[in-house]
Amino acid sequence: MDDPRLTLSGIPLSPVYGEGPLPGEYPYTRGVHTDMYRSRLWTMRMFAGFGTATDTNGRFRELLRSGSTGLSTAFDMPTLMGRDSDHPWSLGEVGRAGVAVDTVEDMSDLFADVDLGGVSTSMTINGPAAILLAMYVVVAEQGGVDRDRLAGTLQNDILKEYQAQKEYIFPPRPSVRLVTDVIRFTAAEMPRWNPVSVSGYHIREAGSTAVQELAFTLANGFAYVEASVAAGLDVDAFAPRLSFFFNSHVDFFEEIGKFRAARRIWARWLRDRYGAVDERSLKLRFHTQTAGVSLTAQQPETNIARVAIQALAGVLGGTQSLHTDSHDEALALPSEAAARTALRTQQVIAHETGVTGVADPLGGSAYVEWMTDEVERRAEEIFAHLDEIGGGSILEGVHEGIQSGWFMGEIAESAYRFEREVNAGDRIVVGVNAFTEGNGGSGADLLRVGQETEDDQLARLAAVRSGRDSEAVAASLRRVVADATDPEVNLMPSLIEAVRARTTVGEIVEALEGVFGTYVETAVI
Amino acid sequence: MVDTGLPIRVVLAKLGLDGHDRGLKVVARMLRDAGMEVVYLGLRQTTDNIVAAVEQEDADVVGISMHNAGHLTLGPLIVKALDEAGLAVPVVIGGIVPDADLPELEAAGVAAVLGPGASVEEVVSTVRSAAGRDGST
C-alpha cells in the first residue's frame, strides 16, 4: 500500500482485515468501496435553512468556509407543502423551520456566490420536488453551469410522506408518477444527480423501530424500481443513481447492523429480483443523520455526546455522507454556534479517532455479524408481508399498506411502546427520567426567526409577481396542466418553462391539484 | 368549571402545515389511557376547524401540537378564535417551544405548554388542571 496508515503509537495498518467477501465485493455488507474512507472521507453535509433565501445563503457560505463539503437545504413548511408564502395556510410558518422559496428568484438568491458546478447540493423536498429541481436547473443555467454538470440529491421520496412525515400534496399514484418523471429526466440529462433519496430517517423519527425503518425504506426503494421499470426504463439506467438516507439512533450496534444489512438486502434484491447486472445498481449508497428525536431539551449539552456516538455508528456502518444534529435542536432550530460544534464532531471522528484507517473495522465481530443477519431476517419478514398484500408486487403492497393505514399504525404503535417504556423507567433517557440534577434554565443562545422574516418574504414575492409577464405565466400553467393530463408525457420540461417564467411554486401546485387531486389522510392513532 | 363526573373531552389538532404528528398521537393515547375522551382532528387544521370541533364536541380542553416555530403567531390566534366564538375552553400547546416564549404565550391566554420529554403524569395532570378537574378523569 502506498499510503500506510499508522496508529497513534506507530503501528502500521492494512486497509482491511478478515476474509471475503471484502468491502467493495458483492453483497457489499462490508461497504461499497474497497478501501472506504482511506481514499475518500464521507461528505460532511450539514442540513441548513431558515428565513429568507438570503439568510440561508449566509449560513451556506459559513458552512463551506468551516469545511463542509456539501450543502443540504431545509425548506420551510409552506414550500414543503407547495404553498406560496402569501397563502392563508402559510401564516406563521414562512421561513420558520426552513428557507422560504416561492419563485426562481428565491432559488437564485439561495445559491448566490456558490459554485454550483463545484459543490454538491441536497434538497430535502418531496411533494413539490420536481418544481424545486426545475428551479435549480434554471438557476444553474443562468450562472453558466449546464445541467449535466450538476451534482446533488433531490429527496423526492413521496411514499414515506404518506407513511411518516406527512408532507404529501397529491394522492399516491400521481405522486409516484412525478417521482418517475424526475428519474427519467435525470437519467437522460443529469448524470451526476441522485433523483431520489429513499428515506428511512423520517420513518424512524415518527417512531418506528430500526427494523421497520430499514424494511419500509427498502420496500419504498423497490417500489420506485418497479414504478420506473413500468415507466419504460431499464433497471440499470437509473438504479445506480438511487440513493438512501437513514437515521442513526442511539442503540449503537443495532444501527451498525442495520446499515450493513441494508447494503446486503439491496444488492440481493436488485440482482435476483429486478435483474440488475451493472454493479453500480447493486451498491446501496446512503446519507446518515443522527436522531433528532433522541435529543433532549433537558441538559442539552448532553446531546453532543449522543450525536458523537450516533455519528460514529454511521461511520462504522459505512455511510457516504453525514449530518450531525446540533445539540439545541430539541429547543429550537440550530444556532450557528451549535451547528459548528456538530460539524466539529464529525471532524474529530474523521481526523483524530483513526476509525477511517481500516474499512469496516467491525466486520467479523461475532456480535456485529449476528446483529446484521438478525436485522436482515426481520426485514425480510416485512417484505414478505408487503409482497403478499401487493399480490406479488412490492409497489402495490406499499400502496395497499398506505391506503389501509398499515404503515402508520405500525409506526404509531412502536412510538407509543417506546414512550411507555421511558415512562415506566424501563428505558433510561439521561436527563429525562434519570440523572436529572442540573435540569432547567437553559441559557442557550437560540436561533429566533421572527415575524419580520415573513413580512420580508411577502414583500419579495409581491415584487416578483408584479414584475413578471402574466401572460407567460398563464401560458406556462396551461402547458403544465396539459402535460399532467397525459401520463405518457414527462412533466419536467413544462415545469422548467414555468419556473423560468417566474410562476410560483403554489401556482404550479394548484394547477397540478386540478388534475391530480389533493390527498387527505385518514388519521390512525 | 362544574365537575359533571363525565370524562374530560379533549380536542387534539395540529394547527397549520407542519406534519410532525408523532407527539400528538402519543399524547392522544396517553389521554385515552387516562380515561379521557379524545377527539383527534389530526393534521392541517385551521382555527375555524378547531373552533367548530370544540363547539360540536363540547370539548373541555384543546391541545395543539407545534414543531414549526410558528407558536407565537398561531398560539394566540387559536385562543382568540375560541374567545370570539364565545368558547371558554383552555388551550394547551405541546411541542418545541423555547422557554423564552412562555411569558408571551401565557400573556396571550395559552393555559399551559408541554415540552419534549414530558411524562405521562405531567401530560395528564396538565390537561386535568387546564380543565379545572384536578383529581378526576
For A157-209, the pLDDT digits (tens) are 999 999 999 999 999 999 999 999 999 999 999 999 999 999 999 999 999 99
Dump pLDDT digits (tens) for A107-148: 999 999 999 999 999 999 999 999 999 999 999 999 999 999
Strands A286-290 and B37-45: unpaired
Please count the other Cβ atoms lying within 10 Å of the Cβ belonging to residue A515. Answer: 15
Residue A45: in which H helix or E strand, if any?
Answer: strand A43-48
Look at residue A3 and tell me whether its pLDDT is greater than 50: yes
Confidence class of residue B16 from pLDDT cuts 50, 70 and 90? Answer: confident
Alpha carbons A147 and A150: distance in angstroms, whole number:
5
A83 touches chain B (CB under 8 A): yes
What is the predicted pLDDT for the residue at A403?
A: 96
Q: What is the ipTM of this complex?
A: 0.84
Residue found by looking up cell 359533571 in the block:
B4
Residue scoring higher pLDDT (A1 or A114):
A114
User: Distance between CA atoms of A43 and A171, rounded to whole angstroms?
Assistant: 34
Position A63 confidence tier, pLDDT thresholds 50, 70, 90: confident
For every residue of A394-443, which 3-state class applies, written as one string?
A: HHHHHHHHHHCCHHHHHHHHHHHHHHHHHHCCCCCCECCCECCCCCCCCC
- Beta carbons of A166 and B16 less than 8 Å apart: no
CA end-to-end span of chain A? 56
Average per-residue pLDDT for chain A: 95
Closest-CA distance, A525 to chain B, in angstroms, reads: 6
Q: By CB neighbour count within 10 A (0-12 exposed, 13-18 middle, 19+ buried), where does A6 fall?
A: exposed
Tell me the chain A residues in contact with residue B117 when contact means C-beta distances shorter than 8 Å: 296-298, 330, 429, 432
Count of Cβ atoms closer than 10 Å to residue A234 Cβ? 15
Query: Quick count: other Cβ atoms within 10 Å of Cβ B135?
Result: 8
Q: How confident is the model at residue A2 (pLDDT cuts 50, 70, 90)?
A: very low
Rg (CA), chain A: 23
Mutate which: A79, A166, A408, A427, vs B, most B CBs within 10 A: A166
At residue A156's C-alpha, the angle toward residues A162 and A95, to 5°, is 85
Q: Please tell me the distance from the alpha carbon of residue B21 to that of residue B44, in angstroms, as a whole number.
A: 10
- B-facing residues of A in 86-115 (CB < 8 A) are 89-93, 96-97
* DSSP reduced 3-state for B116: coil
**Does position A406 have pLDDT exceeding 70, yes or no?**
yes
- Whether B16 sits inside 8 A of A89 (CB atoms) is yes
A289: DSSP letter:
E
Q: What is the CATH number of domain B7-60+117-130?
A: 3.40.50.280
Burial A451-471 (b: 16+ CB within 10 A, else e): eebbebbbebbeeebeebeee
Q: Give all domains of chain A, ordered by start, each with its CATH number.
A: 26-385 (3.20.20.240)
- Chain B CA closest to residue A417: B26
Q: Are A62 and A336 in contact (CB under 8 A)?
A: yes
Q: Considering only CB atoms, which chain B residues are within 8 Å of A298? A: 117
Start-to-end CA span in chain B (Å): 14
Burial of A224 per CB tally in 10 Å (0-12, 13-18, 19+): buried
Q: Which of A102-111, A113-122, A466-475 shows the lowest per-residue confidence on average (mean pLDDT)?
A: A113-122
